[in-house]
Amino acid sequence: FLQLVFHMYTAGFALVNGNGTAKAEEYSLQQKQIFCGLGAITYAACIGALPLVFMNRYTLKSSLTQLVVKKLLPAPLFGLMSAFTVVVVRSPEFENGIEVMDSNGKVVGVSQKAGEKAVKETALSRAVLFGTTFFLPAVLMYFVERAKFAKTPHALASVRMFVVTSVLAGMLPVSLSMFPQCGVIKRADLEPEILSSTEETELFYNRGI
């Protein structure tokens, strides 16, 4: 359930903060994104919960299994699935393209390649944000537990919450600043029809968040 809530939030955030250029052909673009998003949320939640379900189903309680499933797997899984939901929810952007502008802000065309670049950059930043947010606290809490800094389970839970919140607060601006909000793409990387409509060497697009 918690996996479902987490991925529902990240997918909704990606849907609201994407580039709104892409146009629907056979049905509502928003409808398509919602259906794709629901599928991505369900898939991501199942993949995220699968290691724990597998461990509990086959009663794998060894210290090595606990370490791998509870400490090592969550970070890459959360990072990978967060990036996956962004790509699925914002797939119309690289299927139909997004607007590219010249240095004066004039729209010179709609580019699938710019849409692909925007989605890839956003997915990577989301993977770094949540992958690091789940990896660093696990490492830090390992040392806290070994040092016996927190004497009671309640104190340990409080320390864990503080560490997770601190890492998330620190990683959020890092993630948002990995790529500029106003993305840049070289003219040579764009489609032929756009090349013929401008002489500028670099064009710009809204990457989304």
If one compares 114 and 74, the residue with the highest pLDDT of the two is 114
CB 79 within 8 A of CB 128: yes
pLDDT above 70 coverage of the chain, percent: 88
Model confidence at 116, pLDDT cuts 50, 70, 90, reads very high
Residue 21 pLDDT exceeds 90: no
CA distance 18 to 79: 19
Domain range for 127 is 1-206
So what's the pLDDT on residue 27? 46
CB 79 within 8 A of CB 130: yes
For range 76-95, the mean pLDDT:
89
Residue at token pair 């997770």: 164
Averaged confidence pLDDT in the chain: 84
If one compares 61 and 148, the residue with the highest pLDDT of the two is 148
Residue 65 pLDDT exceeds 60: yes
If one compares 57 and 124, the residue with the highest pLDDT of the two is 124
For range 105-110, the mean pLDDT:
88
If one compares 206 and 19, the residue with the highest pLDDT of the two is 206
Residue 124 pLDDT exceeds 90: yes
Residue 83 pLDDT exceeds 50: yes
Q: In what order do the strands lie in the sheet with 202-206?
A: 107-111, 98-101, 202-206, 182-186
So what's the pLDDT on residue 117? 94
Model confidence at 121, pLDDT cuts 50, 70, 90, reads very high
So what's the pLDDT on residue 66? 67
Exposure string for 26-62, b = 16+ CB within 10 A, e = fewer = eeebeebbeebbeebbeebbeebeebeeebeeeeeee
- Domains of the chain: total: 1
So what's the pLDDT on residue 113? 93
Model confidence at 123, pLDDT cuts 50, 70, 90, reads very high
